[in-house]
Structure 1
Amino acid sequence: MSTHTTPRAARTPQAAEIPAARKRAYAPARGQRARRPRQFTSKAAVHAVLVVFALYTLMPLTWLVIASTKNYRDLFATNPFALGDLNLVANLQALFAYNDGIYARWLGNTVLYTVVGSLLSTLISVACGYAFDKYRFRGKEKLFGLILVGILVPATVTTLPLYLLFSEVGLTNTYWAVLVPSLVNPFGVYLARVFSEGYVPGEVLEAARMDGAGELRTFRSVSLPMLAPGFMTIFLFSFTASWNNFYGALMMLSDEQLYPVNLGLYAWMKNVYQQPELYPLVIIGALVAVVPLILAFLGLQRFWRSGLTAGAVK
């Protein structure tokens, strides 16, 4: 039995023409140069824009750090970005010694308003968002829509009505006047529902219920650990908002012993023309007030990054 083999060129006469046709199709026309993508130019432009934004963001903080090393005379007699006589330690000692250490009390008040208020607000928001996601009840979507409307209302609009309500029950000029309004966080409820949809599978809850766990235990032992990235993300939002809450404290408080840091520095700033020695204290006090925010974001950034990507991949 003999087999007849056909030569490759005779078997596929069009094979040699296909590569040549492809080359002609992708080859540039005569007299034209192949255009290279301008990757280097576009990357350089993006990097230049990022550098400009980074400088714009870091310049005030840089000035604050440098100004904290100067005394009152050097603040106005030297270049704004030139180091002074390195009086940072002396300025810190003067800051915490002025007026019987009132700044330390302001700092403690701010920690109370921020940490306690943010933890309670985050817990309430996570519980509400979890309930909106996992439970069915009458009017759920309408109620959730009402909460979304609350996101659109600025906090400054509700401050005066809250002041009138608190004055009726005698809670103005107390710690509760600042703590209670910070517990309501419509945006946190919205985020918590999104996190619950992305992090807590319904099958896990059904398995926990079949094992005899009640709803509170299921939420505490099963759902809440799964919602840890979302919890920390909402906590950081609440922490930042509470730490920078100036207008609410300004409306509610009149006793300087209850002031947070930002309101206390504002009170000092109003008196710098009568008391010029307060100027270095205001600057070093602002720097000390910024440090906890920086430490919070640096310490919790892994939760922040994982929380921001919640629901991105199904």
Structure 2
Amino acid sequence: MRAVTYDSYTADDSRLVVGEVPEPKAGPGCVLVEVRAAGVNPVDWKAMAGGLDALMDAVFPVIPGWDVAGVVRGRGPDAPEFAPGDEVMAYARKDVLKDGTFAQYVAVPAAHVALKPVALGWAEAGGLPLAGMTAQRCLDRLDVGRDDVLLVHAASGGVGGLAVQIARSRGARVIGTASEVNHDHLRDLGAEPVVYGDGLAARVRELAPDGVSAVADFAGGQLETTLAVLRAGGRHVSVADPEVEEHGGHWIWVRPDGAKLALLADLAERGALKVDVAATFPLDEVGAAFEASRGGHTRGKLVITP
């Protein structure tokens, strides 16, 4: 099968190679998925540069990619949850960096897989799992509900925009940071927009004079502002800044979980969750997708379509 690989840690996108590699095997409890779309996430190029070496082993050559939407083409022993022909999606992170989703096929544990909602196209479904489940896990940890005023840092990004929608579906009031060009987009999602940067705490206080009850940081470097606007007893999480744990917050890493992903699929089917796709790229242009992701100003998801 065709796949993108890199043969050592590198920050040089020219080291990404598209070529033939062996087709993966669907082991016990796993399904073989023909990839129709695979979301690009910052962790993909950070892992390629060795950024996860302290946490995960790499077995080179590595196929990058942790998101997938596609069609089940086979299954291993004791994987009765899905059948060939099922349209599915998954957060397909493995215990080691090796067999990712920027390929024609990927084997995924059935417990990590959910049926693709009809309401989402392939690119949208391929961009949902990691970002959507990250947002979901953050909001679950914050226990966001109807009585909350939630501040979302980087609310127009791939994770932030999904967090806004999930929080609104739970009845929370949401204030979201973004550049002014994205304010109408945030209003469409149901958030009250504020410009990020110097003076952010004062601008948030103008909207919420009593402070906010919860903060979800998807940007990093926002701890000072978070603590300045958080009410006494408030809760906060970050996906980018482990220092929050020293100030009563939680550093969040998403976990593969098909049942949790199915809840997001249900939101999408009910029209309460939309995935904004900024651009799609073929396998041969993964380097260009990584470059766009590094820019940090993409609204919505970047997606590989093998």
TM-score for both structures, normalised by structure 2 = 0.19
More helix by share: 1
**Structure possessing the higher radius of gyration over alpha carbons:** 1
